[in-house]
Amino acid sequence: MESLNIEGSAKTPTIKFEPATGKLLIRGRSIPENSIEFYKPLVDKLEEYAGSPQSSTNVDIQLEYFNTSSSKCILDVFKKLEAINAGSSEVVINWHYEEDDEDMLEAGEDYQAIINVPFKMVEMEEE
């Protein structure tokens, strides 16, 4: 299964997913007007990965901004991860936020309350 590499832009995040190591990274800004189209390749890839996942799957979410259109797509991604976690892979979602960004921390906690996957809240120091 091939890796997925999407380069970031002014409105969309960098996405790196390596099925061979079970590592997923989403980093940057996610504020496209239509996010369904943008997240479809990742959702499809995770669907495929769910068939034969690694024993552990490590997810890093490092978003600076995301709009509400993206928030439903991110939930879809997490629901795929929830299914993978319920199967044969142990999933951890590392939710990164800048040290004084309470809104981003709270957004992570909102997902944590909905999704049955272990979350780690990771505070980053500001540059």
Binding site for other proteins (CB under 8 A): 10-11, 31-37, 65, 67-69, 71-72, 75, 98, 100-101, 103, 106, 110, 113-114, 126
How far is 17 from 58, CA to CA, in rounded Å? Answer: 10
Question: d(Cα 84, Cα 47) in Å, to the nearest integer?
Answer: 9
Q: Are the beta carbons of 108 and 66 closer than 8 angstroms?
A: no
32's torsion region: left (phi>0), alpha (psi -120 to 50) or beta?
Answer: beta
What SS3 state is found at 23? strand
For other proteins, the closer of residues 34 and 88 by Cβ is 34
Least gap, CB of 31 to other proteins (angstroms)? 5
Bridge-partner residues for 17, per DSSP? 4, 24
CB of 36 to other proteins, least distance (A): 6
Select 58 or 112, whichever has its Cβ closest to other proteins: 112
> How far, in Å, CA of 1 to CA of 4, rounded?
9
For residues 55 and 68, which CB has a smaller minimum distance to other proteins in the complex? 68
CB of 48 to other proteins, least distance (A): 22
Closest separation in Å from C-beta 34 to other proteins: 4
> Nearer to other proteins by C-beta: 72 or 120?
72
